[in-house]
Structure 1
């Protein structure tokens, strides 16, 4: 079809809104915006180069997933690492990964398994180097393989919503000795997937995420 003659080529509002949400979400997860920090929509809008409206919409969405706390008539702040919210998100994320692995084991190809092993190698190397950002990226790549192969859109949507809540906690895990155990769990998961042992592979996937409760006390980490 010919190129439309409409001169209005602005980015659709939905894309702008989602982009602002992702930028703010990532800034909270990586610590750029710290727990307890006050969030002023005007300052955030200036920082991101957008109007206040998509910022306000993004803050509402971030509040729904527990990354932001809004106090009517007072202030909006980055949410602290609340143990109860972490437990809730952990249970949901662990269950979705169990489901994704259960649905993908029979369909994982040799290339998929190789991609998981390669991601785990990068994950282990990043942990050894003390590179938390690279470790988080490699961990994302590892777990994305069975999620993508499963093709369960509902599970993927839930994971996209609640995994960021856990990412702040994972930063603590991957910067401590506790992160080393994840390498071994990843190896076990790939081996079980290769053996087409759906039940045990799904259980390891669940335990990999549910094991986040093994971390040191959250309040102690935030105070340090």
Structure 2
């Protein structure tokens, strides 16, 4: 039979990215524990996809340091290490510093209001000891300058290394010192509103470079 010429294309990239994000989130939230072995056939059945996007996702997760892959043998979830967190932290902090530097001049009042509202939710989540809500609000706040900066290379680096920090951040957001993060958010928003680029990027870098060491 002739091949139809007007059939809609399957968005392979969307499927690949969705599988990657599902597996990444399952590692970050602890669904898959450190040391747990991940089999592509089991993951494919769980997600209802073929093994190909799962294998591609596992390769990306290995590049981010979330899994350790041994070709032809096994793939396991890595444990958090002080060195791994420190390396990811330094890269992510530098990327957020760059994002703020590029974004401050273009931030609108609506953007600043979005950041303020996110920080209000962040404070409320910390008070309620709701780590998931705190992380979601933190993501929304920091996503504003990243989006305004519109730097694809920067976004790619953050997508790769931020998940490593998210695992460590659960320790910080569960601690009594978590409110200090909300205070730094307030300082960042004020600096952005005042168009003080130097101060804003210093605060942005400091916010991400103060993650606790892994015990």
Q: What's the TM-score, normalizing by structure 1?
A: 0.90
- 2:157 aligns with 158
> Mind listing any 5+ residue stretches in structure 1 that lack a counterpart?
220-224
For 2:203 and 2:80, how far apart are their aligned partners in 1?
Answer: 25
Q: Quote the offset at 1:53 in angstroms.
A: 1.4
Superposed, which structure 2 residues align to 1:4-153 within 5 Å?
Answer: 6=5, 8-9=7-8, 11-153=10-152
For 1:13 and 1:108, how far apart are their aligned partners in 2?
Answer: 34
Q: Is the 8 A contact 2:126 2:134 kept in 1?
A: yes
SS in 1 for 2:210: helix
For 2:151 and 2:26, how far apart are their aligned partners in 1?
Answer: 28
- 1:218 aligns with 214
RMSD over aligned Cα, in angstroms? 1.5
SS in 1 for 2:37: coil
Deviations along 1:14-39, one digit per CA (max 9) or x if unpaired, are 22222111110111111111111110
For 1:125 and 1:168, how far apart are their aligned partners in 2?
Answer: 21
For 2:60 and 2:84, how far apart are their aligned partners in 1?
Answer: 16
Matched positions, count: 212
Deviations along 1:153-197, one digit per CA (max 9) or x if unpaired, are 211111111111111111111111132110000000011111111
> Mind listing any 5+ residue stretches in structure 2 that lack a counterpart?
none
For 2:160 and 2:88, how far apart are their aligned partners in 1?
Answer: 9
For 2:109 and 2:71, how far apart are their aligned partners in 1?
Answer: 53
Deviation above 4 Å: which 4+ runs of structure 1?
5-10
SS in 2 for 1:77: strand
For 2:136 and 2:120, how far apart are their aligned partners in 1?
Answer: 12
Q: Is the 8 A contact 2:85 2:214 kept in 1?
A: no
Q: Please, which moves more after superposition, 37-46 or 11-20?
A: 11-20
- 2:193 aligns with 194
C-alpha spacing 1:42/1:121, structure 2 compared with 1 (3 Å): same
Deviations along 1:125-150, one digit per CA (max 9) or x if unpaired, are 01101111110110001001111111
SS in 1 for 2:65: coil
C-alpha spacing 1:33/1:8, structure 2 compared with 1 (3 Å): farther
For 2:34 and 2:198, how far apart are their aligned partners in 1?
Answer: 38
Q: What's the TM-score, normalizing by structure 2?
A: 0.93
